């Protein structure tokens, strides 16, 4: 088994079916409502000549969060010669939406929620969001569809998965809190904890690194400019090498103690620099997501 594998999941009504349709248009073989127990048998079949997208969610009777996480671990391990073992890249794509949006979509379609067939859709939505929280935290790519039109969703997916793009390599920059650990799958990590911390300034404590006042505070540290230039130079140096090797992704992590100020400000600056250099780049602020300040991935040109 070779090639790219994308596992699509998320709450009911967030746009998984629409996502599969877009991926099929982009050249993926797609399977909806795939039982987890059948995935290894599927991969044990004839080799694929195109990428594969599988939608796995609560509609299926053998679905479990633990089972999907174990499948991701298995897919992420190096090929050890086991029959059916993939040697391509496996990713978890999580489609999300705000609870009020999910409830509105259910009211428009008058469908029963799979986790509350005899109760209100709101109860089912609450149960499902709580159940899927570990998958949301584990996702390689998280797209919030709350305000997206079908055209917007297609454009976002094309940025990540269109194999015909002239420049396929995409950079994902993560800001994170060391208290919660490193994001899954980062290729390289830089520690921002040595920089002056805006947290100790009461006027900045409740803000985050996307705010110009916080970014200015961080940049005033005499060590910041040299640090940022070295990080940017290293990443810029490696990107052409990754592209020449046929890599599709480079994931960079920037961490600080709380994941709110220094790492976020530096991640925003790095994204801006890479975007100006012409690379496809997106940012994910893990701690801000956890605190509900931001949802999902921001693309180039929309980092703030």
Per-residue pLDDT tens digits for 56-74: 999 888 899 999 988 888 8
Structure token pair of residue 18: 């629409």
Q: What is the pLDDT of residue 139?
A: 86
Contact 252, 172 (CB under 8 A): yes
pLDDT tens-digit map of 155-167: 888 877 876 654 5
Within 8 A by CB and 6+ apart from 214, the residues are: 198, 204, 207, 208, 261, 264, 265
Q: How far is CA 154 from CA 24, 59, 147, 204, in A?
A: 11, 24, 13, 37
**Is 13 annotated as ligand-binding?**
yes
User: Whose CA is closest to 93, among 47, 153, 182, 166?
Assistant: 153
Residues of the chain with pLDDT under 70: 1-3, 45-48, 77-89, 163-168, 246, 294-304
**Is 11 annotated as ligand-binding?**
yes
**Is 259 annotated as ligand-binding?**
no
Using N-to-C axis directions, what is the helix angle for 224-244 and 262-276, rounded to 10°? 50
Structure token pair of residue 222: 């005499």
End-to-end Cα distance, the chain: 40
Secondary structure (3-state) at 296: coil
Can you tell me the distance from the alpha carbon of 199 to that of 290, in angstroms, rounded to the nearest whole number?
18
Can you tell me the distance from the alpha carbon of 245 to that of 295, in angstroms, rounded to the nearest whole number?
32
**Is 163 annotated as ligand-binding?**
no
Within 8 A by CB and 6+ apart from 253, the residues are: 173, 174, 175, 176, 182, 183, 186, 188, 189, 190
CA gyration radius for the chain?
20
**Is 16 annotated as ligand-binding?**
yes
User: Which letter does DSSP use for residue 146 in this model?
Assistant: T
Can you tell me the distance from the alpha carbon of 165 to that of 212, in angstroms, rounded to the nearest whole number?
33
**Is 164 annotated as ligand-binding?**
no
Q: What is the pLDDT of residue 78?
A: 47
**Is 62 annotated as ligand-binding?**
no
Q: What is the pLDDT of residue 302?
A: 41
Which helix (H) or strand (E) is 41 found in, with range?
helix 39-43
Contact 94, 29 (CB under 8 A): no
**Is 264 annotated as ligand-binding?**
no
Cα-to-chain-centroid distance, residue 129 = 17
Q: What is the pLDDT of residue 160?
A: 78
**Is 181 annotated as ligand-binding?**
no
Residue with tokens 């998984």: 16
**Is 17 annotated as ligand-binding?**
yes
Q: What is the pLDDT of residue 164?
A: 63
**Is 189 annotated as ligand-binding?**
no
**Is 263 annotated as ligand-binding?**
no
């Amino acid at each position: 088994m070779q090639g790219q594998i994308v596992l699509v999941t998320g709450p009911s009504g967030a746009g998984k079916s629409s996502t599969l349709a877009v991926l099929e248009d982009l050249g993926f073989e797609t399977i909806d409502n795939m039982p987890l127990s059948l995935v290894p048998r599927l991969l044990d079949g004839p080799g694929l000549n195109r990428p594969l997208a599988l939608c796995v969610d609560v509609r299926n009777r053998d679905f479990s969060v633990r089972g999907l996480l174990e499948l991701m671990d298995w897919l992420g391990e190096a090929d050890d010669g086991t029959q059916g073992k993939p040697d391509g890249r496996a990713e978890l794509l999580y489609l999300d939406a705000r609870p009020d949006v999910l409830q509105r979509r259910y009211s428009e379609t008058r469908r029963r929620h799979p986790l509350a067939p005899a109760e209100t859709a709101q109860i089912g939505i609450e149960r499902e969001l709580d159940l899927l929280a570990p998958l949301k935290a584990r996702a390689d790519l998280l797209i919030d569809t709350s305000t997206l039109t079908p055209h917007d969703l297609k454009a976002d997916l094309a940025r990540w998965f269109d194999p015909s793009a002239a420049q396929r390599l995409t950079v994902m920059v993560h800001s994170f809190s060391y208290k919660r650990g490193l994001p899954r799958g980062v290729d390289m990590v830089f520690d921002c904890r040595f920089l002056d911390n805006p947290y100790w300034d009461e006027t900045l404590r409740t803000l985050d690194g996307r705010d110009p006042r916080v970014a200015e505070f961080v940049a005033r540290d005499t060590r910041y400019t040299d640090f940022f230039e070295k990080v940017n130079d290293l990443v810029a140096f490696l990107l052409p090498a990754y592209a020449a090797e046929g890599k599709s992704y480079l994931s960079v992590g920037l961490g600080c103690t709380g994941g709110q100020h220094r790492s976020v400000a530096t991640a925003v600056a790095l994204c801006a620099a890479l975007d100006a250099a012409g690379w496809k780049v997106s940012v994910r602020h893990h701690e801000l997501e956890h605190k509900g300040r931001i949802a999902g991935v921001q693309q180039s040109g929309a980092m703030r």
